[in-house]
C-alpha cells in the first residue's frame, strides 16, 4: 500500500467527511488505518437496500457500548442517513468517518451536513511524494495516478472501464439526466477544453443542445468531483482580464481516456494539457493534505497573455507557468514578467521539460518532475 499524505488522528474526537472521486483509494486507506472500525458499505446492495428503506436501522446495527470509529462508505447514496448520524453523534457520542464521491446528492437533498460536528477532508490521486521511487513521469502523463492505475498491468483497460462503468453509472444512479447519450458525448467534447477557457456556446453547438444544458453539465462534473473550473485571478487588477473559467478533469489518465484521439490529434497538445493537469493534481492534493488554504486561479489578459496557475493565500502569492519544451526562449518568460509587473510581491516559477534548474532573473526555472517534488518546500512557508 502507498503511504498517503492524508492524515486523520485515530484519537480525534470529531467525526469526518472524506470526499474524493471514486477510485482515489478512500476505502482502502480507511480500512488500513482504522482496521477495527465498524464498516458499512453502501455499494453493497443488501446494506444499501436495508438503510434506504429505514435509515433508523443504523443504530440497531451498532453494538452497544461501541467506542470505536464507524465508517459509512459512499454516504451520498443515502443522504437521509446523515440525519441519523447527526442524532447518534449528539446522543451517543459516536464517531463517524463518512466517505463520498459526490457532493451533488447531499446538497440536492438539503440534508444536515453536520456543520460543526464533522471535519472535511479530501482524497486525491496519488502524488509523486506518495509514489516515491515508483513515480514515473511518462507513465503518469499517459495514465494518471489513480492507485489502481499505478498497480495495474493494463492501466488503459482499467481507465476505459472506469470511464465506461463508473462515470455513466454515477450519472444514472443520481438521475442527473435522462439523456445518457448526450451526456456521454459531452464528456468527450469537454476534454477538448482541458486547460482552456470555457465556451459553453461553442460546446453546445458541437453536440446539438442548449448553452444552459452545457452549463448544467459542467456543474454536474464538479459535483461528481471529477472536474474543476478555475477562475481568473483579478485581485488588484491593473489590466482588462478574461472572464471565463478554465476547465480540467481531475486526473491525466481520465482526461486522456475521455479525449478522442486519432491521426489528426497533436501529441504536443495532449502532452501540454497533460502536464498542466498533473501539476494541478499535485497542487490540489498538497493544498488539502497540508491545509495550506491557498485559493487556486489562473491569470489571463484580454490580449491572451496568460499565466497557467496562481496560488493566493495567507502563505503568499505564487505564479506558475508550465512548459513542455526542453529548451526555453525569451518569449517563454514574457507572461510571467508581465504578471510580475502587476504583482511584484509574487514568487514566480517556470516548470519545463529540461533537466537544469536555474534562475532567469528572479523566476525559478525547474525541471517538471523536480518541481513537483519541491512544491512543499516552496509553498509551505
Q: For 72-117, how does the pLDDT look when each residue is reduced to its tens digit (9 = 90+)?
A: 999 988 988 998 999 999 999 999 999 988 777 676 655 566 766 7
At residue 97, the pLDDT reads 96
Over residues 40-65, the mean pLDDT reads 94
Mean model confidence pLDDT for the chain: 90
Higher pLDDT, 263 or 161: 161
At residue 12, the pLDDT reads 87
- Closest among 57, 13, 10 to 32, alpha carbons compared: 10
At residue 224, the pLDDT reads 85
pLDDT tens by residue, 329-350: 999 999 999 999 999 999 999 9
Higher pLDDT, 3 or 179: 3
List own/partner pairs for 307-315 with CB under 8 A and 24 or more apart.
307/335, 307/336, 307/339, 308/195, 308/276, 308/279, 309/230, 309/276, 309/279, 309/280, 309/283, 310/233, 310/339, 310/346, 311/283, 311/287, 311/379, 312/233, 312/235, 315/379, 315/380, 315/381
CB burial of residue 233 (10 Å; 0-12, 13-18, 19+): buried
At residue 267, the pLDDT reads 57
Is the pLDDT score of 176 beyond 80? no
Percent of the chain with pLDDT over 90: 75
- Please report which helix (H) or strand (E) contains residue 82, including its range: helix 81-92
For residues 178 and 137, what is the distance between their CA atoms, to the nearest angstrom?
39
| CA distances, 347 to each of 64, 82, 321 (Å) | 55, 43, 12
What is the CATH architecture of 15-122? 3-Layer(aba) Sandwich (3.40)
| CA distances, 238 to each of 296, 321, 343 (Å) | 19, 20, 10
Higher pLDDT, 104 or 36: 36
Over residues 283-310, the mean pLDDT reads 96
At residue 103, the pLDDT reads 72
Over residues 259-278, the mean pLDDT reads 75
Residue 213 makes CB contacts below 8 A (sequence gap 6+) with 182, 204
For residues 91 and 94, what is the distance between their CA atoms, to the nearest angstrom?
8
DSSP string, 214-276: HHHHHHHHHHTTSEEEEPBP-TT--S-B--SPEEEES-HHHHHHHS---TTS-HHHHHHHHHH
- Closest among 41, 37, 117, 128 to 85, alpha carbons compared: 117
Q: pTM of the prediction?
A: 0.93
Is the pLDDT score of 180 beyond 90? no
Residue 304 C-alpha cell reads as: 491572451
Residues of the chain with CATH 3.40.50.300: 15-122
DSSP string, 163-232: IIIIIHHHHHHTT--S-HHHHHHHHHHHGGGBTSB--HHHHHHHHTS-HHHHHHHHHHHHHTTSEEEEPB
Over residues 241-249, the mean pLDDT reads 93
Percent of the chain with pLDDT over 70: 92
Is the pLDDT score of 174 beyond 60? no
pLDDT band at 270 (very low <50, low <70, confident <90, very high): low
At residue 274, the pLDDT reads 93
8 Å CB contact between 275 and 368: yes
At residue 55, the pLDDT reads 94
8 Å CB contact between 350 and 333: yes
pLDDT tens by residue, 194-217: 999 999 999 999 999 999 999 988
Crossing angle of helices 180-190 and 200-207, rounded to 10° = 130
At residue 262, the pLDDT reads 66
- HSE, CB side, 13 Å, CA atoms: give it for residue 44: 9
Amino acid at each position: 500500500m502507498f503511504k498517503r499524505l492524508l492524515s486523520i488522528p485515530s484519537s480525534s474526537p470529531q467525526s469526518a467527511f472524506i470526499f474524493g472521486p471514486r477510485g482515489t483509494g478512500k476505502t482502502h486507506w480507511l480500512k488500513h488505518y482504522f482496521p477495527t472500525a465498524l464498516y458499512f458499505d453502501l455499494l453493497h446492495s443488501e446494506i444499501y437496500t436495508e438503510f434506504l428503506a429505514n435509515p433508523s436501522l443504523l443504530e440497531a446495527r451498532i453494538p452497544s457500548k461501541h467506542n470505536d470509529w464507524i465508517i459509512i462508505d459512499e454516504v451520498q447514496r443515502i443522504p437521509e442517513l446523515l440525519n441519523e448520524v447527526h442524532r447518534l453523534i449528539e446522543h451517543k457520542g459516536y464517531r463517524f468517518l463518512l466517505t463520498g464521491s459526490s457532493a451533488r446528492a447531499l446538497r440536492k437533498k438539503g440534508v444536515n451536513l453536520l456543520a460543526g460536528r464533522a471535519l472535511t477532508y479530501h482524497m486525491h490521486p496519488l502524488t509523486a511524494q506518495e509514489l516515491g521511487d515508483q513515480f514515473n513521469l511518462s507513465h503518469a502523463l499517459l495514465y494518471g495516478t489513480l492507485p489502481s492505475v499505478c498497480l495495474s498491468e493494463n492501466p488503459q483497460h482499467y481507465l476505459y472501464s472506469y470511464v465506461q462503468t463508473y462515470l455513466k453509472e454515477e450519472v444514472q444512479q443520481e438521475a442527473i439526466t435522462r439523456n445518457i447519450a448526450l451526456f456521454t458525448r459531452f464528456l468527450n467534447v469537454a476534454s477538448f477544453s482541458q486547460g482552456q477557457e470555457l465556451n459553453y456556446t461553442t460546446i453546445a453547438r458541437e453536440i446539438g443542445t442548449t448553452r444552459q444544458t452545457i452549463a448544467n453539465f459542467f456543474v454536474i462534473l464538479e459535483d461528481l468531483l471529477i472536474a474543476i473550473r478555475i477562475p481568473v485571478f483579478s485581485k488588484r487588477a491593473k489590466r482588462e482580464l478574461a472572464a471565463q473559467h478554465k476547465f480540467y478533469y481531475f486526473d491525466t489518465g481520465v482526461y486522456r481516456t475521455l479525449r478522442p484521439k486519432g491521426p489528426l490529434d497533436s501529441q504536443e497538445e495532449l502532452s501540454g494539457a497533460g502536464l498542466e493537469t498533473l501539476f494541478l493534481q499535485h497542487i490540489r492534493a498538497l493544498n488539502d493534505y497540508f491545509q495550506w488554504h491557498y485559493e487556486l486561479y489562473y491569470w489571463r489578459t484580454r490580449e491572451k497573455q496568460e499565466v497557467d496557475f496562481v496560488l493566493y493565500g495567507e502563505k503568499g502569492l505564487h505564479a506558475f507557468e508550465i512548459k513542455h519544451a526542453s529548451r526555453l526562449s525569451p518569449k517563454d518568460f514574457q507572461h510571467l514578467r508581465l504578471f510580475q509587473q502587476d504583482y511584484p510581491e509574487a514568487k514566480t516559477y517556470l516548470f519545463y521539460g529540461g533537466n537544469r534548474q536555474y534562475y532567469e532573473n528572479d523566476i525559478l526555472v525547474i525541471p517538471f518532475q523536480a518541481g513537483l517534488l519541491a512544491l512543499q518546500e516552496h509553498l509551505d512557508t
